[in-house]
Amino acid sequence: MKHYKYLLATDIDNTLTGDPEALKELRNDLEALRKKGELFLVLSTGRRLNQVLDGFENEFIPRGDAIVSQVGTEIYLPPFSLSSRPNDEWNRKLNGQFSRGKALEFVEGIEGLELQPEEFNTPLKVSCYLDKAPDPEKAVEQIRRRIEDKGESCQVVWSSGRDLDIIPADAGKGKAIRFLINHLELSPKQVIVAGDSGNDRSMFDEFESGIIVGNAKPELKKLQEEHPGGKLFFAEKLYAAGVLEGLKHFGVL
């Protein structure tokens, strides 16, 4: 087994994407570290697998060593293709604790809520839009209370003032990365995470070293108040330039 120096787990949309020139520079730097065997790169995203693969070809997205997709409900390992299957061990772990039918009951009757397109709704994830709700934050709390009252083993992921996901309690980006580092025999102290929005929150809760890009949503920027004096780095630069700034801060580059 390789002995990596760092594991970088980064969101894609509005963390890597947004500044193509900075992303090209970041991709080259990451590829150099990977070739030296120093870096294990995890792409941690709300995208579906086919969207990540498309990003490799058309958006300069760096090719990762693992893909955590669908908000941490699926893990893929190389070789990557449209016929790739999610990691079976992770899949079995989550399947045992989640009922999509029950999750749908928790969003039933919420004013202004719309289910996202079918391809974003999977056996392990119920995904909705809430931007048309009269009070989205109040609706999120209503859904959370319903889950707590029933004692169900699932969680709500709320992001960007619009996107709501209900996923298994043991899913999410942070726990998926924890699963990977256990298999790689890496220490959590070797992990650096990067993100911009609420569905990245679990990565920052799970690991102490993180990069919050300059264009981050308020739900992540408030971590500055919650973790004063911690190891979170709040970049001034936007998108991939912010990730570059953070990696230099942590001494990776």
Burial of 117 (0-12, 13-18, 19+ CB in 10 A): exposed
pLDDT confidence of residue 44: 99
Task: List pLDDT tens digits, range 190-200.
Answer: 999 999 999 99
Burial of 4 (0-12, 13-18, 19+ CB in 10 A): buried
**pLDDT-derived band of residue 152, with 50, 70 and 90 as boundaries?**
confident
pLDDT confidence of residue 108: 96
pLDDT confidence of residue 132: 95
Neighbours of 54 (CB within 10 A): 14
What is the rounded distance in angstroms from the CA atom of residue 121 to the CA atom of residue 140? 18
Residue 226 pLDDT greater than 90, yes or no: no
What H or E segment, with its residue span, contains residue 177?
A: helix 173-184
Residue 2 pLDDT greater than 80, yes or no: no
The rounded mean pLDDT for the chain is: 96
What is the rounded distance in angstroms from the CA atom of residue 172 to the CA atom of residue 92? 15
Three-state secondary structure call for residue 109: coil
Residue 97 pLDDT greater than 90, yes or no: no
pLDDT confidence of residue 230: 73
**pLDDT-derived band of residue 75, with 50, 70 and 90 as boundaries?**
very high
Segment 205-210 shows an average pLDDT of 95
- The model carries a pTM of 0.95
What is the rounded distance in angstroms from the CA atom of residue 37 to the CA atom of residue 39? 6
Task: List pLDDT tens digits, range 173-188.
Answer: 999 999 999 999 999 9
Residue 228 pLDDT greater than 80, yes or no: no
**Domains of the chain: which residue ranges?**
6-92+171-249, 98-168
Give residues with Cβ within 8 angstroms of 176, minimum separation 6. 44, 68, 72, 75, 90
Is residue 50 a contact partner of residue 83, using CB atoms and an 8 Å limit? no
Burial of 18 (0-12, 13-18, 19+ CB in 10 A): middle
For 180, the token pair is 């990977």
Give residues with Cβ within 8 angstroms of 147, minimum separation 6. 106, 154, 155, 156, 166
> 3.40.980.10, 3.40.50.1000, 3.40.47.10, 1.10.287.70: which CATH number matches 6-92+171-249?
3.40.50.1000
pLDDT confidence of residue 227: 74
pLDDT confidence of residue 1: 64
Looking up tokens 């500055």 gives 224
Task: List pLDDT tens digits, range 32-53.
Answer: 999 999 999 999 999 999 999 9
Complete edge-to-edge strand list for the sheet that includes strand 154-159: 114-115, 126-129, 163-168, 154-159
Reply yes or no on domain 98-168 having CATH 3.90.1070.10. Answer: yes
Segment 17-25 shows an average pLDDT of 98
40 phi, psi to nearest 5 deg: -105, 120
Neighbours of 218 (CB within 10 A): 10
Task: List pLDDT tens digits, range 113-139.
Answer: 999 999 899 999 999 999 999 999 999
